[in-house]
Amino acid sequence: MSSPSEIQGEPLHGRGAPNAEILRASPRLFDNPVLDKLSRVHWSMPLILYTPVVAVLVWLSLRSLSPLTVFLTAALGYGIWTLIEYFGHRYLFHAEFPGEWGARIHFLIHGVHHDHPSDPLRLVMPPLLSVPIMLLALAIVWLLFGFPLGYAVLIGFIVGYVGYDMVHYYVHHATPTTRVGRYLRQVHMVHHFRNPDAYYGVSAPYWDAVFGTRHIPPAASSETHHG
């Protein structure tokens, strides 16, 4: 995994820094005013919506399972989320769909975020999208694990999702002071402004190391070829 200093040392904006107003713009996505309003969400919404859900799942899990079993199974659920985050970002969010409708779908799913990455109301997943995903996850977990084990899987899965949303907002709108925070921000800015085919893991960039999607700065690339 590249070090923060290596990433920081490479210019992110190859063709000049984007206009700050464009980066923060929040364009209308739907003609329907209700749908358009629902496409915007405050960063705290995932915490408000899913913290009580996680609390209930913890209670349900501990009624039948040992704390160690709950912890280990929740860790599995978290791992599952991080893989979905990586592969979803890589193969769904960055997919090029054919035709005019395909371009529209791509823009709605992720293109708008790359065009306006600092829009504060479109950095976390709106409930209109996250709730169906969680219901689908619930059905799949029920089929694969059953309950009560599935409750613990969902704990890790939902915590992973909320963590992803919080990290995503943080790297766009905060100035990290820790080494980890600075690294997460730097690699995500590389994804936005230098190489959109790198660093698909927002909260879990270690998968980019595993699957070979880290960004190699030109200087490092030249050294590799001549070494």
* Residue 223 confidence (pLDDT) above 70: no
On average, the pLDDT of the chain sits at 85
Lowest mean pLDDT among 2-6, 16-20, 35-39, 152-156: 2-6
**Six-digit token string for 125:** 């997943």
Q: Are 124 and 40 in contact (CB under 8 A)?
A: no
Kindly report, residue by residue over 75-96, the tens digit of the pLDDT. Answer: 999 999 999 999 999 998 888 8
Q: Are 134 and 54 in contact (CB under 8 A)?
A: no
**Six-digit token string for 39:** 């496409």
221/155: higher pLDDT:
155
14/69: higher pLDDT:
69
Quick one: which of 189, 136, 177, 151 has its CA closest to 14?
189
Q: Are 141 and 157 in contact (CB under 8 A)?
A: yes
Kindly report, residue by residue over 106-137, the tens digit of the pLDDT. Answer: 877 787 888 888 788 888 999 988 999 999 99
* DSSP-assigned letter for residue 191: H
Question: How large is the angle between the packed helices 45-64 and 127-145, nearest 10 degrees?
Answer: 20
